[in-house]
Chain A
C-alpha cells in the first residue's frame, strides 16, 4: 500500500492503532455499550441505526487521529439539539467511559488509548456547546 500524503517520521496514531480495521471492530462494540447505558441512550431514541453507525465510524476515525472533515462548529451544530435536551458533562463522561472500555476490550495498548481519549476529550466543549 502506498500512501504518501506528507513525509512523517512517525506512523500516525490512526496507523498504529490499526486503521479502518480497528474502526470496524470498535464501532459495534462501542455503540452497543452506548445503547445499553440508561444514562445516555435516550439521546439516541429514534435515531437511524445505519446513520448512527456511520457517525460512530467518523467518531472513531477522529478519535484515532485519522483525517476528518469535522470542525468545532460542525460539532456544535450537530449536538445543539441534544444540548437542548439536557446533554451535559455527565453524559460526555459516560461516552468517554465506553470509548475506553471498548478499546480495552480490543486489547489496544494503554498508551494508545490515552492518546485516543485525549483527542476525543478535546471535543468536549464543542459538543456541549460551551
Chain B
C-alpha cells in the first residue's frame, strides 16, 4: 500500500492497484483512454518517487528523465507526489542583468536568480509581466555558476510583450519566471548518435543550449546545426558558432538564407531543405527542430521518412501570440 499526493491531497493506492485506478477512485479527473499503456493519454509526472520501469515503457527518453510516466501502467513501489499535466506552473522572481542587441531586432536577455535554477538546456519558461501578460521563451544557455538564464528575444511587429522587453525592461528590474517546461533537450546517452539541429530565427536559442550541453557531455557523434533566417543581417551568434565549429571536429554550423541575396559562405534556401539535401539518411539520428511551426511540422515528417525514429525527434514549435 502506498500514498499518492496530488495537489496537496493524499490518496491511498492499494496493492495490485494502478495509480490511475487509485486516483480515479479518489475522484481525481485523470484523462485516460486505453488503460494499457498504448495511447499515453494518462501521462503524469512524478515530483517525488521513482516510477517503476513498466510505467515508462515507450516514452521519449526526455520524458522518462523528467519522471513522466503512464498512470495506467504504474503499480507504485513507494509513496509518490504526482502532478497532472495541466496543473499550473510555479513562478519565481529573477533580476535582469543584461539586455544587449545581438542583431537589428534580437536581444540577448539575461536573468539572474538568487538560488540555483534547475533546467535542461533547450527547455522553455514563461516570462510574466506584473499585469499578468505572459509569453514563453526558450532558455539559450546551459546551467551557470551565477544562476543566470539567457534568452534570445526577437522584437515582433506589434508584439506587446517583446516590445515591452526591448523598450521598457531595464537591467536591475525584476521579472517573474516560471519553472522550466518542455521535453526538447539533450540526454547524454547514446553519445555516438548523429545529432541534427535545425532552427529558424530565435529557434537558435534552445538549439544553442542543446549544442553546448552535448559538447559539454563530450558527445562523440557528428553534430550538424542548420540555422535558417531570411537575410544575412538576421543572423546572430555566427562568429561564436563558427569558432565552436573550428574547435570541435564533430560539429558543423551552416547558416542558411532564404532571401534573394546570398553571399559566398552561406547556404541558399530554407534551413530544413538545406539539411535534407545535406543528409540523405537519418536512420539512428537524433533530431531537434525549433522555430517556425511550418518548418517544424514539415521537417518532422521528412526526418521521420528519412529514417529517424519518432521517439528520437524532438520539436519545439514557436507560436507567436
Contact surface of A with B, Cβ cutoff 8 Å: 1-2, 14, 19-21, 23-24, 27-28, 31-32, 35-36, 46, 48-50, 53-54, 57-58, 60-61, 66-69
Contacts and interface: CB of A to CB of B under 8 A. Distances in A.
Nearest to B16: A2
A49 B38 contact: no
Interface stretch (B136-144, B184-192, B252-260, B304-312): B304-312
Interface string B114-150: 0000000000000000000000000000000000000
26 contacts: A1-B54, A20-B36, A20-B57, A21-B58, A23-B38, A23-B58, A24-B57, A28-B304, A28-B309, A28-B310, A31-B304, A35-B301, A48-B297, A49-B300, A49-B301, A53-B310, A57-B38, A58-B38, A58-B39, A60-B38, A61-B34, A61-B38, A61-B39, A67-B35, A67-B36, A69-B34
Contacts of A69: 33-34
B39 A57 contact: yes
B34 A32 contact: no
A90 to B, nearest CB: 22
Interface string B281-308: 0000000000000000100110011000
Contact of A66 (B38, B58, B301, B310): B38
B202 interface: no
Report the 5 A-B pairs with minimum CB-CB distance, sorted nearest first.
Answer: A61-B38, A20-B37, A24-B58, A49-B300, A57-B38
Contacts of B57: 20-21, 24
Nearest to A46: B297
How many B residues touch the partner, as a band?
Answer: 20 to 34
B200 interface: no
B40 interface: yes
Given A20-B73, A24-B57, A35-B305, 4 more contacts: A28-B309, A28-B311, A46-B297, A49-B310
Contacts of B304: 28, 31-32, 35, 49
B308 to A, nearest CB: 9
